């Protein structure tokens, strides 16, 4: 399966991607994870991306497409892949089409802005291993400490309310138009992003015809 998960930040795309990866045994291509890794390692592209990420702005297309091109050449992508967080603009979608990247289905996971804000503002991340927790729905066993590596959890710079609102504004202006772009290709399917995690995964599998 060659799939795009589309929707606003905090709609549940990452959790859904994990379930799909486990079920389908294809890799998740998450630009956000790749960029955060580059930022953590202090690479030139990571430092360049960090200024945009900290401000809640979209990373430029040439950076995104360069990362994707390199990633899709790996052996594990030959049987399929799941894009999470990319493409984010019409320009990126056209660039993927121009490069012959096959997209079979676009699953739109949608949720209202105020729910998104509550979800993201409660996120806590492990700066060491990358596991993400939540103050309401996924608490660590010991408050403020990662279960896996016992590192102190942090609130990412892009998970404060002001930055979240900027990210949502950017999504509505630049990414939401992708719905019409892929609708014209007959590839869009819809998933209610207000569902609980287990319900969302079950419904997604049903929509995608996964048994």
Q: What is the pLDDT of residues 43-76, one digit of tens each?
A: 777 788 888 888 888 788 877 777 787 778 889 8
Catalytic, 88? Answer yes
- Residue 187 belongs to a domain with what CATH number? 3.40.50.300
Is 127 inside a domain boundary? no
Catalytic residue among 50, 88, 119, 124: 88
What pLDDT digit, counting tens, does each position of 176-197 carry?
999 999 999 999 999 999 998 8
* Residue 198 phi, psi (nearest 5): -60, -40
Residue in 36, 50, 124, 167 annotated catalytic: 167
Q: Is 41 a catalytic residue?
A: no
The answer to whether residue 95 sits within a structural domain is yes
- Which of 36, 50, 119, 123 does the annotation list as catalytic? 123
What pLDDT score does 179 carry?
Answer: 96
For residue 106, give both structure tokens. 């676009």
**Residue 137 is assigned to a structural domain of this protein:** no
pTM (whole model) above 0.85: no
Q: What is the tally of structural domains in the chain?
A: 1
Q: Is-catalytic flag, 196?
A: no
Q: Which residues of 36-60 are buried (b: 16+ CB within 10 A; e: fewer)?
A: bebbeeeeebbeebbeebeebebbe
Q: Is 13 a catalytic residue?
A: yes
Domain containing 23 equals: 2-111+160-208
Among the listed residues 156, 165, 187, 189, the single catalytic one is 156
pLDDT higher than threshold 80 for residue 93:
yes
Residues 142-159 have a mean pLDDT of: 91
Indicate if the pLDDT at residue 123 is higher than 90. Answer: no
Q: Are 128 and 149 in contact (CB under 8 A)?
A: yes
Residue 53, pLDDT score? 80
156 is catalytic: yes
Query: What is the spatial distance between Cα 157 and Cα 163, in angstroms, rounded to a whole number?
Result: 8
Q: Rounded mean pLDDT of the chain?
A: 89
């Amino acid at each position: 399966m060659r799939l795009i998960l589309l929707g606003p930040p905090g709609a549940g795309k990452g959790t859904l991607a994990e379930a799909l990866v486990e079920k389908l045994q294809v890799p998740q291509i998450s630009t956000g994870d790749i960029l955060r890794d580059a930022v953590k390692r202090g690479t030139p592209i990571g430092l360049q991306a960090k200024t945009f990420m900290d401000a809640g702005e979209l990373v430029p297309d040439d950076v995104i497409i360069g990362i994707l091109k390199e990633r899709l050449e790996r052996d594990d992508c030959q049987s399929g892949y799941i894009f999470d967080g990319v493409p984010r603009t019409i320009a990126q979608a056209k660039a993927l089409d121009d490069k012959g990247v096959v997209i079979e289905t676009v699953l739109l996971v949608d949720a209202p802005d105020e729910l998104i804000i509550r979800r993201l503002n409660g996120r806590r991340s492990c700066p060491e291993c990358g596991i993400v927790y939540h103050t309401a729905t996924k608490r660590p066993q010991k408050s403020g400490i990662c279960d896996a590596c016992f590192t102190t959890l942090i609130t990412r710079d892009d998970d404060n309310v002001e930055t979240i609102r900027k990210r949502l504004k950017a999504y509505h202006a630049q990414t939401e138009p992708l719905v019409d772009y892929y609708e014209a290709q007959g590839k869009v399917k819809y998933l209610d992003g207000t569902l609980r995690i287990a319900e969302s995964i079950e419904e997604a599998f049903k929509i995608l015809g996964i048994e």
